[in-house]
Structure 1
Amino acid sequence: MLHARVIPGPDIEWNPSYETYRARVESLSRMDILRPQGVPEGFPKTVDAPWVWSAADFEDDNRHILSLSESEIVEVEHALAFFKGLPGDLGPGDVSCTTFPLPHLRSKLGGIAKNLHLGFGFNVIRGLEPQKYSSYENIIIYLGITSYIAGKRAVQDSGGSMIIHVKDLGRQIAHSEMRQSPYARNAQPFHNDVCDILAMYVQEQAAGGGESHLASSAKIYNEIAATRPDVIHTLADPSWIFDKYTPAYWNTRAILFNYTGKGPGFCFSRRPITGSPTSPRSPGVPPMTEIQAEALDMVHFTAVKHQLSMRLQRGDIQLINNIAVFHARSGFQDRRNQRRHIIRLWLRNEELAWKTPKALEKTWFEKYGNSERRKIATWNIEPGATRERILFRSDSCS
């Protein structure tokens, strides 16, 4: 496209402004807009399921934290030794329930798998001490434990990365002020990744900030459906524009889906829709509408209203049903001797996974299927990434 320019659109930011949102709600309320009075056909008026919750439901940490006993940690270390003692040139991709045996812990991990898919949708496994192990050993332990929860692993970028190290790399990469969020220390608004189960293994906490925020997708749905069913129509409409970060190329799909047997769930990140400071909208790509902007920010601020915040500890493994639960993070600060470092996996439990909607099947095949990206699968044991992965949105994971 010759002389393409960024097409103006609504005043909406990647990290949303509540004042701008309320002004838009008020402005649109004065317009003569035909607003449906019920939710779309096939969508429930309300979701009644264990994954409908608010922060007040989790005053007791015991509901979502599995604290490993000394004997269970010993069992994990025995499984690590078993894997390392197996014949052949085995690597991270060979870790499974068979090669990492946990005969006693497996029942508790199976319970977590059921909770992620059928319960409130998130858990934390606590008690590991990553400083006791080498980088390679931490990866094997992480893969071994999670293989009992969701054994299929997704490729996370076009370079075939099966693991992403979430760490601020600003000190390592010169002139990288516009680096992508996994490699920066900025706050992130509520979003979904492109996976079934999101896993985060904390190697080190930030010196300050970096809190994890979770919110129930079904709780958000119920509140919006009860007060603004017209917004549910907007969210479920397949006309949302996702910038693919190549000149004047985009695709369209809904951001809210009615999952078979489970009900409504979201799948989107704001960045391809709104653009962000590190990923401005591409020239020639059409903007969203004012009605879509209202809906997008309504989801975010409803999530904020009900969010559960937690400060993860070093050694924690956080697991999230990415469809049932939104996640966000606070900005953080590092010190020279204390730098936030989290290892991310995208996982799937083939037996328990929510059925993938047709509109997402192509994306899910790219991540979990025998795609070209998976054929070049790489296991990055140490933190770091290519300059292209850190800076350029076309090589990012969403």
Structure 2
Amino acid sequence: MTTEILTRPVSGPSAWTAADLQSGEPYVRHLTAAELDAADAAADKAADDAADEASDSGLEGVVEDLVERLENGVGYAVLRGLPLGTRHTPERAARVHQAIARRLGEIVPQNRDGDLVSVLEDAHHPAQPGGTYASKAGAPFHTDPTDIVSYLCLATPTSGGARVLVSAATVYNALVREHPEWLDLVYREYATDWDGQEPTGEPGWSPRPIFSYVDDALTCSLSPKRIMSAMRFEDVPRLGAEEMTCLMYLESLLRRPGTAVHVEPRPGDMEFVNNHAVIHSRTGFVDDADHRRRLHRLWISRGAAGRPLVPALRRWRAGVS
């Protein structure tokens, strides 16, 4: 494993701006009738049937395309065309979502309770335990600790709830151009708050570098709010003035006009985000009696098939346990 500080801008599809993705929704892949049939067949197989999943399933093209988009493209993809409400019930759609996710990697636990699926909806719903993701307010920009986070949209709110996405490479390129003197700061490890979901026996925070560069792959792990909130722990080193200034600068880049793209999920959409290449958030939303936002979230580990990571990040790609 070769690690270094990358001092030049990143080029290629991963370095995009809002203008690159706002015309024609290039991140969307529409499922064909044959692929829907194959997805249904895959959903009917047992979740732990590894032999069947490794065999021809009719989903090879979908999976190969997803991997290409996530690993070598913009880092974000939407599978569209799941006929929710007609051919597919929410339960069947969830099985299809999980069948496709298992072909990308391993579905891993998202919290200390070992949950493999999180239901994202208003915290006032009796089944929702709470947390930032359960609030109607907008979510802060962040990356999750595993390789891919995926969402199945089961219902949309009355308004709002857009996915907000920023290219980590674009943020990095701005840093290289405007403040190269801070490059060494972003390669340091910063305490990141687990927000109460730390693995059993672990402290309430874990050290993670904001950027790392291993074997020609730039990886981002940026959650500004959680870096700041980690300082509530007595054993976390205080951030210095220069580190605070750098962190606020990175936060400003995420909100710089023309940087982020907003995506309005549709019922039946399956979203896939490469956590190492894309920083994401969500706008606030409004529900009413007839329109109540509801999503399923999966964390997916690519394991040995994923990009090389520094040890501080590699240990969390298998999720929380």
Query: What interval of TM-score do these two structures reach, taking the shorter chain for normalisation?
Result: 0.7 to 0.9
Which letter maps to 2:316? T
Among residues 168, 184, 189, which one is paired with 2:122 in the alignment?
168
Q: CA shift at 1:272, angstroms? A: 2.9
Q: Where do 1:36-55 residues align within 5 Å?
A: 42-55=5-18
Q: CA shift at 1:308, angstroms? A: 1.0
Among residues 260, 264, 282, which one is paired with 2:215 in the alignment?
260
Q: Whole-Å Cα distance in 1 between the matches of residues 302 and 233 of structure 2?
A: 36
Q: Where do 1:22-171 residues align within 5 Å?
A: 42-81=5-44, 83=45, 90=46, 93-94=47-48, 98-99=52-53, 103-132=57-86, 133-148=88-103, 150-171=104-125
Q: CA shift at 1:251, angstroms? A: 4.7
Match of 1:325 in 2: 278
Among residues 273, 281, 301, which one is paired with 2:227 in the alignment?
273
Which letter maps to 2:175? I
Q: Whole-Å Cα distance in 2 between the matches of residues 95 and 343 of structure 1?
A: 22
Which letter maps to 2:293? R
Q: CA shift at 1:267, angstroms? A: 0.9
Structure 2 SS opposite 1:215: strand
Which ranges in structure 1 are unaligned for 5 or more consecutive residues?
1-39, 84-89, 368-372, 374-398
Q: Whole-Å Cα distance in 1 between the matches of residues 174 and 288 of structure 2?
A: 41
Please say which of residues 101-110 and 182-191 is displaced more in the overlay.
101-110
Contact 1:152 1:347 (8 Å CA) reproduced:
yes
Structure 2 SS opposite 1:138: helix
Structure 2 SS opposite 1:315: coil
Q: CA shift at 1:100, angstroms? A: 9.2
Contact 1:96 1:143 (8 Å CA) reproduced:
no
Match of 2:162 in 1: 211
Contact 1:96 1:151 (8 Å CA) reproduced:
no
Q: Whole-Å Cα distance in 2 between the matches of residues 162 and 144 of structure 1?
A: 13
TM-score by length of 1: 0.70
Q: Whole-Å Cα distance in 2 between the matches of residues 44 and 180 of structure 1?
A: 38
Higher strand share: 2
Change (3 A) 1:207 1:353: same
Match of 1:381 in 2: none
TM-score by length of 2: 0.86
Change (3 A) 1:135 1:97: farther
Which letter maps to 1:47? V
Structure 1 SS opposite 2:140: strand
Contact 2:116 2:298 (8 Å CA) reproduced:
yes
Identical residues among aligned pairs (%): 21
Q: Could you list the per-position Cα deviations for residues 47-96 of structure 1 after superposition, in whole angstroms to 9, with x for gaps in the alignment?
A: 12321111111243352111123343233234434x2xxxxxx4xx4265
Match of 1:344 in 2: 297
Q: Whole-Å Cα distance in 2 between the matches of residues 106 and 299 of structure 1?
A: 38
Contact 1:123 1:320 (8 Å CA) reproduced:
yes
Structure 2 SS opposite 1:199: strand
Match of 1:7 in 2: none
Q: Could you list the per-position Cα deviations for residues 253-280 of structure 1 after superposition, in whole angstroms to 9, with x for gaps in the alignment?
A: 42221132213x21132343222xxx99
Contact 1:100 1:144 (8 Å CA) reproduced:
no
RMSD: 2.9
Match of 2:177 in 1: 226
Q: Could you list the per-position Cα deviations for residues 272-305 of structure 1 after superposition, in whole angstroms to 9, with x for gaps in the alignment?
A: 3222xxx993467554223222222222221223
Which letter maps to 2:62? K
Q: Whole-Å Cα distance in 2 between the matches of residues 143 and 194 of structure 1?
A: 19
Which ranges in structure 2 are unaligned for 5 or more consecutive residues?
197-202
Change (3 A) 1:208 1:97: farther
Kindly indicate whether residue 191 of structure 2 is the aligned counterpart of residue 241 of structure 1.
yes
Kindly indicate whether residue 264 of structure 2 is the aligned counterpart of residue 291 of structure 1.
no
Structure 2 SS opposite 1:61: coil
Q: Whole-Å Cα distance in 2 between the matches of residues 43 and 195 of structure 1?
A: 23
Q: Whole-Å Cα distance in 1 between the matches of residues 204 and 18 of structure 2?
A: 40
Structure 2 SS opposite 1:130: coil
Contact 2:82 2:93 (8 Å CA) reproduced:
no
Contact 2:90 2:154 (8 Å CA) reproduced:
no
Q: Whole-Å Cα distance in 2 between the matches of residues 244 and 126 of structure 1?
A: 32
Change (3 A) 1:95 1:318: farther
